[in-house]
Amino acid sequence: MVKQLVAAQNDFFATQKTKDIGYRKQYLKKLQQEIVDQEDAICDALYADFKKPKFESLATETQLALAELKHAIKNIDTWSEPERVSGSWSNFPSKEWIQPEPYGKVLIISPWNYPFMLAISPLIGALAAGNTAILKPSEYSVHTSKIISQIIRKVFPPEYVTVIEGGVEVSTQLLAEKWEYIFFTGSTQVGKIIYKSAAEHLTPVTLELSGKNPCIVDETASIKLAAKRIAWGKFINAGQTCIAPDYILVHKNVKDALVDNLKNSLTEFYGKDMETSGDFARIATGKHFEELKGMLEGQKIIFGGKFVDADQYLAPTLVDEPELDSTIMQGEIFGPILPLISYTDESELDSYISKYPNPLAFYMFSSDKKFQKRLMSRYSFGGGTINDTVIHISNKDLPFGGVGQSGIGGYHGKHTFDLFSHHKSIVKRGTWLDVPLRYAPYSFSIILIKKIKYLF
Ligand code: NAD
């Protein structure tokens, strides 16, 4: 089946239909309408997968995808236009420009944590740029994967866009094919497998991966507000967010205040009996639930810690001063557990932050502008926010992605269009003049070439 679909997409791309901007726009509009029509069903599917609260489904899945669609539909004409550059004088007379063109067939592999948005958002850019696509959503978010498949089947012919559901086996089959672009969102570990497969065919990739995201709170921060914003960014989606703050580095003088305020914020958000709150999601996979429970063993839990196996519920949990060699501080937590580590002096921070490879996100709460500037310039990370968490993802003009171990490439808004386009350079020479400098014999040219300082 995979081979046939790949062949069908090759043939379809060769018809040149997707080069027509009107054609792309027409399908993006159909997709937009279908998402609007199915929005409640999508939210129901997300709830069925991991009890994702409806507000979070709207705010972080469907409405984000619709905003991307609206932006792409509005701007696709401008984005697709050739960009004139000034001609180099050595080419005179000429017109010179950059023409975006689609790569061809794109493979999009997505994870389970924001299962709708992380599948649809790259797809929008891939189609806006004129590619065909095969989408492989996660096998763990079965209900959402199913509705994505239904939507795509209703809107697109399979030779243009298809969803193939399944797990590692299906992914492996897909990766054995030749793609013109691969867009992967998931763990760093699997990202390496994707990169190796892509290398076989020299296929360009975007890898949206993971990291251990620090969040620094210094003495000058507004603690009450910091606590509220950290609690929101950490516990939305039950902490299963690639850019959630992973651990807190807090100045010892404000640690107690931060902990008290975090507790207050969490109680305000989810009530005293958090398990009954309809605003807090569950852990999406059994495997990950067990891993998270394991991380809590032997830790000093200062808030939460309750879990319910039947429901894969893990309460918002604060852990005090974990050992750096404990599992919780080894890799990405990716769940509702927030460790707090205190520091006394700025010079100590580096021993924590540099212990881990480039994080996907970086947060700091401080009103000290010089401190903000020092940290922002010192560390290499995908993206970050000062005095808030997670929200840098919401601006479509900011490219979203990692660096080093946390990923390759950035997307959202026009950045997604650019990422899925090859930028073709074209020079159109005039024929009414032909400067002889470059032609042999070179005896005269060799004198001139050194005098002409600016050949380009
Ligand atoms: P994962 O890497 O296990 O799986 C992602 C996708 O890859 C799934 O569709 C899965 O079927 C496929 N896959 C898994 N193993 C494979 C293999 N051996 N060969 C080929 N394909 C394979 O990730 P996940 O558990 O679904 O998602 C959680 C991870 O994703 C976290 O680490 C999180 O930080 C990361 N993530 C990153 C971003 C980002 O934008 N950077 C966003 C969301 C999640």
For ligand 1, is residue 118 a contact (CB within 6 Å)? yes
In this structure, what token pair is assigned to residue 207? 């890898």
Pair (190, 311) in one structural domain: no
Please list, in sequence order, all residues whose beta carbon lies within 8 angstroms of the beta carbon of residue 77, skipping any fewer than 6 positions away.
21
For ligand 1, is residue 246 a contact (CB within 6 Å)? no
pLDDT in tens, 285-336: 999 999 999 999 999 999 999 999 999 999 999 999 999 999 999 999 999 9
Residue 205, phi then psi, degrees to nearest 5:
-135, 155
Pair (82, 228) in one structural domain: no
Q: How far apart are CA 236 and CA 256, in angstroms?
A: 23
189 CA distance to ligand 1 middle (Å):
8
Q: Please list the alpha-helical segments (H only) found in 15-87.
A: 21-50, 54-57, 63-80
Atom of ligand 1 nearest to the CA of 360: 41
| 336: DSSP letter | S
CATH code for the domain in which residue 338 is found: 3.40.309.10
Pair (297, 152) in one structural domain: no
Is residue 191 assigned to a domain?
yes
For ligand 1, is residue 148 a contact (CB within 6 Å)? no
Atom of ligand 1 nearest to the CA of 407: 41
Distances (CA, A) of 12 to 58, 79, 108, 133, 444: 34, 23, 18, 11, 53
Q: Which residue has a Cα nearest atom 35 of ligand 1?
A: 186
Instruction: Give one DSSP letter per residue of 153-198, joined into a string.
Output: HHHS-TTTEEE---SHHHHHHHHTS--SEEEEES-HHHHHHHHHHH
Pair (19, 46) in one structural domain: yes
Pair (105, 48) in one structural domain: yes
Residue of 108, 110, 148, 190 to mutate, ligand 1, most atoms within 8 A of C-beta: 190
Pair (198, 228) in one structural domain: no
Q: What is the pLDDT along the chain (456 residues), one digit of tens a residue?
A: 899 999 999 999 999 999 999 999 999 999 999 999 999 999 999 999 999 999 999 999 999 999 999 999 999 999 999 999 999 888 999 999 999 999 999 999 999 999 999 999 999 999 999 999 999 999 999 999 999 999 999 999 999 999 999 999 999 999 999 999 999 999 999 999 999 999 999 999 999 999 999 999 999 999 999 999 999 999 999 999 999 999 999 999 999 999 999 999 999 999 999 999 999 999 999 999 999 999 999 999 999 999 999 999 999 999 999 999 999 999 999 999 999 999 999 999 999 999 999 999 999 999 999 999 999 999 999 999 999 999 999 999 999 999 999 999 999 999 999 999 999 999 999 999 998 889 999 988 888 887 776 555
Torsion from C-alpha of 101, 106, 110, 116, nearest 10 degrees: 70
The active-site residue, picked from 208, 290, 297, 323, is 208
For ligand 1, is residue 113 a contact (CB within 6 Å)? yes
Pair (43, 145) in one structural domain: yes
In this structure, what token pair is assigned to residue 91? 């080419």
137 CA distance to ligand 1 middle (Å):
10
Pair (171, 226) in one structural domain: no
109 CA distance to ligand 1 middle (Å):
8
Are 305 and 183 in contact, with CB atoms under 8 Å apart? no
Pair (414, 373) in one structural domain: no
Is residue 438 assigned to a domain?
no
Q: Which residue has a Cα nearest atom 36 of ligand 1?
A: 186
Are 250 and 260 in contact, with CB atoms under 8 Å apart? no
This prediction has a pTM of 0.96
Atom of ligand 1 nearest to the CA of 111: 26
Pair (299, 320) in one structural domain: yes
Is residue 450 assigned to a domain?
no
Is residue 428 assigned to a domain?
no
pLDDT (0 to 100) of residue 224: 98
Let me know how long the chain is: 456
In this structure, what token pair is assigned to residue 388? 């808030």
187 CA distance to ligand 1 middle (Å):
4
| 360: DSSP letter | S
pLDDT (0 to 100) of residue 329: 97
For ligand 1, is residue 409 a contact (CB within 6 Å)? no
Tell me if residue 56 is catalytic: no
Tell me if residue 208 is catalytic: yes
Is residue 433 assigned to a domain?
no
Q: Which residue has a Cα nearest atom 15 of ligand 1?
A: 168
pLDDT (0 to 100) of residue 456: 53
Are 231 and 317 in contact, with CB atoms under 8 Å apart? no
- Angle among Cα 43, 47, 49 to the nearest 5 degrees reads 115
For ligand 1, is residue 111 a contact (CB within 6 Å)? yes
Listed residue (141, 120, 422, 390) closest to 288, CA to CA: 141
186 CA distance to ligand 1 middle (Å):
3
Strands 407-408, 205-208: pairing is antiparallel
Residue 115, phi then psi, degrees to nearest 5:
-65, -25
Q: Which residue has a Cα nearest atom 31 of ligand 1?
A: 187
The shares of helix, strand and coil residues in the chain, as percent rounded to the nearest 5, are 50, 20, 35
CATH code for the domain in which residue 13 is found: 3.40.605.10
Q: Please list the alpha-helical segments (H only) found in 183-332.
A: 188-200, 223-235, 255-270, 286-296
Number of domains present in the structure of the chain: 2
205 CA distance to ligand 1 middle (Å):
15
- Per the DSSP assignment, residues forming a β-bridge with 251 are 343
Is residue 452 assigned to a domain?
no
Is residue 456 assigned to a domain?
no
Q: How far apart are CA 389 and CA 387, in angstroms?
A: 7
For ligand 1, is residue 109 a contact (CB within 6 Å)? yes
Pair (200, 248) in one structural domain: no
Q: How far apart are CA 371 and CA 388, in angstroms?
A: 16
Is residue 448 assigned to a domain?
no
Pair (137, 171) in one structural domain: yes
Of 395, 415, 441, the residue that ends a domain is 395
User: Domain range for residue 37?
Assistant: 2-209+406-423
